[in-house]
Structure formats: C-alpha cells, structure tokens
C-alpha cells in the first residue's frame, strides 16, 4: 500500500483533499487520523482572507457547487494556532498554499520550508472562484512553469501542483509542472458551474458561479488522470467524486499513484478510513501484492 511522492513516503495512498477536511482537528471525532496516508490542509494565503459572501455552497444533482473564495486566517495564524496540533499527528502533513502573485507562493514556501514536520507543499494554482483573478495560473503552461520553478528554487520539500480541468489540454499544463520541478501533480480541481433560482431568476451563489465537485465530475477526472498518465513520469494524485473504494480503484487503474477524498468527507466524515480498508481488501481479493502493479493497468477497450 505504501507509495512515494518525491521525498514524501506515504504508508497508504489515501489522502484527504484541501478545503474538505479543515485542519484535521475537526474530523478527529469521526475517524482514526493515523489511518490516513496523509492530510492536505485547507489552502492558506499570506494574509487573511474573508472569502466570498454567502451563500457559498449549493447542492446540485450528484454534486456540490462551492464558492468559498479561499477563506482563511493567513500564514501567521496558521503557524501559531493550527500547526501545533498538526505537528502532533503521526501522519504526513501537506500544506496547501495559494495567492494572487508568484511572490506570495514563494514567501509561503520559504516559510514553510523551515518547518520540519511539514512533509510537502501543495501549490493550489487552480481555484476557480476567486473574483479578482481573470485567469488561473493552471490555465497557462508558461505561467505554471514559471511559478513552480520559482517555488522549487526555495524549498527542498516535495511539491505537488494542483491542476484545473478548466483548460483545453491538461496534459500541457501537467508537463509544464513536471519540467519546472514539481514532484507530483494532483487532478482534478473543481469545474466551473452555476445554479439558478428560477423564481427569482438569480444565481444561487452570491458569487454567481463556483466550483463543481462530487460524483458528477468523476468520469471527467478519471479521463484526465488517464490522459496525464500517458504524458508525464512523475506521480499523479487523482481526485474528483470518490465516494467508495471502487471509485478510488478506478483512478489507480487509470494511472494515479494516490487518491484524495474530497466532497465525500462532507457526506461521510469517516469515508477516507473506509476507503483505505476497501483498497486493502481489493488488493487481497485479487492477489495483487503491490499497489504499483495496479497503477496504469487499464486494458484495451472491450469489444461489444
């Protein structure tokens, strides 16, 4: 079950996705945190952010729209009030960072590089609901290369670059991240979406649009993982609509080395631990000795 992402060793391939698991302490009553392969924190920025105005979450058919807008208390508050608890956990901690400018990512990475207990840094370059940004970094291969390259120059920690599905060709962005020194990529972040109140003829989200997650996006996510697996050599973390062990296994067969449970955490707070057990049982039932033998094992299309 163990895998490596750059220098990062994980005892199993199940992570919890940024923005869906808080700072871990919130979920401690519902599952054994030590059972997880790793924890990815809510994205932090250099300065505190209020995020977007409410309403910020809307349930949709087989999914959820969110427009949180990276609400967080900033780096200093994270280091002072959140990090002490995280450092006590015997689980790899991956800190997700975001910002409006490359320099913000660099400052954040520099500061976090000094914290020994932080195992890796996730570059959230693909949040779709920040109003003051005309385009995400993850929508441009040159911008992606430049940002990842700058962060690579200031930290030796494992770098995971989180990619957006809201692009023409995600493989170009993944290759740019790899070439710039990213140790792994994670995909996919949410897709653009919106919902409308037909009586008021108004958007249900105050921000008008947001990011769609949940089971509705899983087929897109699996496809994109499969595409990227054929393009790059670094590990892929797959995510998007994983609600049970069978969903996770699809991602491994498509080419993922690890997976993230996201929206599913909000439906069942103990889901990630159940998925760890389910993957282990699948490997045992199918006499697969090592998870790497499952990765990228997709066969030719069936004949009907």
Q: CATH number of the domain that 19 lies in?
A: 3.20.20.70
Instruction: Specify the number of domains making up the chain.
Output: 1
3-state secondary structure of 48: coil
For residues 204-223, average pLDDT: 97
Query: What is d(CA 243, CA 231) in angstroms, rounded to the nearest whole number?
Result: 27
Predicted confidence (pLDDT) per residue in 33-82, tens digit: 999 999 999 999 999 999 999 999 999 999 999 999 999 999 999 999 99
Residue-level pLDDT at 133? 56
72: left (phi over 0), alpha (psi -120 to 50) or beta: beta
Could you count the other beta carbons within 10 Å of the beta carbon of residue 260?
Answer: 31
**What pTM was computed for the model?**
0.96
In a domain, 20, yes or no: yes
**pLDDT > 90 in the chain, percent:** 94
pLDDT at 167 over 80: yes
In a domain, 198, yes or no: no
Q: Is 201 inside a domain boundary?
A: no
Q: Angle formed by the axes of helices 218-229 and 245-254, to 10°? A: 30
Residue 227 lies in a domain: yes
Closest CA to 1 of 296, 299, 284, 298: 284
Q: Which tens digits make up the pLDDT trace of 91-143?
A: 999 999 999 999 999 999 999 999 999 999 999 998 865 555 567 899 999 99
Burial tier of 61 (Cβ tally within 10 Å: 0-12, 13-18, 19+): exposed
Under DSSP, the state recorded for 80 is: I
Among 11, 17, 12, 13, which residue's Cα sits nearest to residue 241?
Answer: 17
Of the pLDDT bands very low, low, confident and very high (cuts 50, 70, 90), residue 180 is very high
Q: Is residue 199 part of a domain?
A: no
The mean pLDDT of 246-272, rounded to a whole number, is 98
d(CA 234, CA 231): 10
Note the pLDDT of residue 300: 74
What is the model's pLDDT at position 130?
59
Domain residues for the domain of 171 are 3-50+68-190+213-293
Residue range 193-204: mean pLDDT, rounded: 98
What pLDDT, on a 0 to 100 scale, did the predictor assign at position 211?
A: 96
Q: In what order do the strands lie in the sheet with 63-66?
A: 57-60, 63-66, 210-213, 191-193
- Residue 208, domain member (yes or no): no
Name the token pair of 115: 């914290």
Q: What is the residue-averaged pLDDT of the chain?
A: 95
Closest among 210, 212, 220, 266 to 243, alpha carbons compared: 266
Specify whether the CB–CB gap between 3 and 291 falls below 8 A.
yes
280 located within any domain:
yes
Q: Is residue 153 in a domain?
A: yes
Q: Which of 285, 186, 291 is nearest to 249 (CA)?
A: 291
DSSP state of 140: -
pLDDT at 32: 97
127 catalytic? Reply is: yes
* Cα–Cα distance for residue pair 119/104, rounded to 1 Å: 20
Residues 126-138 pLDDT 10s: 886 555 556 789 9
Q: What is the pLDDT of residue 301?
A: 62
> What local confidence, expressed as pLDDT, does residue 127 receive?
80
Beta strands, E only, the chain: 3-5, 8-10, 14-16, 38-40, 57-60, 63-66, 93-97, 118-124, 158-162, 184-187, 191-193, 196-197, 202-203, 210-213, 236-239, 258-261
Give the pLDDT band (50/70/90) at residue 145: very high
* Given 36, 121, 127, 160, the catalytic residue: 127
């Amino acid at each position: 079950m163990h895998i490596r992402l750059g220098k990062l060793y994980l005892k199993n391939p199940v992570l919890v996705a940024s923005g869906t698991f808080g700072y871990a302490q919130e979920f401690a009553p519902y599952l054994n945190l030590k059972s997880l392969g790793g924890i990815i924190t809510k994205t932090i920025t250099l300065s505190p952010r209020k995020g977007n105005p409410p309403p910020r979450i809307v349930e949709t058919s087989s999914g959820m729209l969110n427009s949180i807008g990276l609400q967080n208390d900033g780096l200093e508050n994270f280091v002072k009030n959140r990090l002490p608890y995280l450092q006590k956990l015997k689980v790899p901690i991956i800190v997700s960072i975001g910002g409006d400018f490359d320099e913000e990512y660099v400052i954040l990475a520099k500061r976090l590089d000094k914290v020994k207990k932080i195992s890796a840094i996730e570059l959230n370059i693909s949040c779709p609901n920040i109003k003051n940004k005309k385009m995400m970094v993850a929508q441009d291969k040159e911008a992606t290369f430049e940002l990842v390259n700058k962060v690579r120059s200031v930290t030796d920690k494992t770098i995971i670059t989180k990619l957006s599905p809201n692009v023409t060709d995600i493989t170009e962005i993944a290759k740019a991240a790899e070439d710039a020194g990213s140790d792994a990529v994670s995909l996919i972040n949410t897709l653009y979406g919106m919902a409308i109140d037909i009586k008021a003829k108004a958007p249900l989200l105050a921000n008008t649009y947001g990011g769609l997650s949940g089971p509705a996006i899983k087929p897109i996510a699996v496809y994109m993982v499969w595409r990227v697996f054929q393009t790059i050599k670094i590990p892929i973390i797959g995510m998007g609509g994983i609600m049970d062990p069978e969903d996770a296994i699809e991602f491994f067969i498509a080419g993922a080395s690890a997976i993230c449970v996201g929206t599913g955490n909000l439906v069942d707070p103990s889901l990630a631990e159940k998925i760890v057990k389910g993957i282990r049982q699948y490997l045992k039932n199918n006499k697969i000795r090592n998870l790497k033998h499952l990765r990228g094992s997709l066969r030719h299309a069936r004949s009907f």
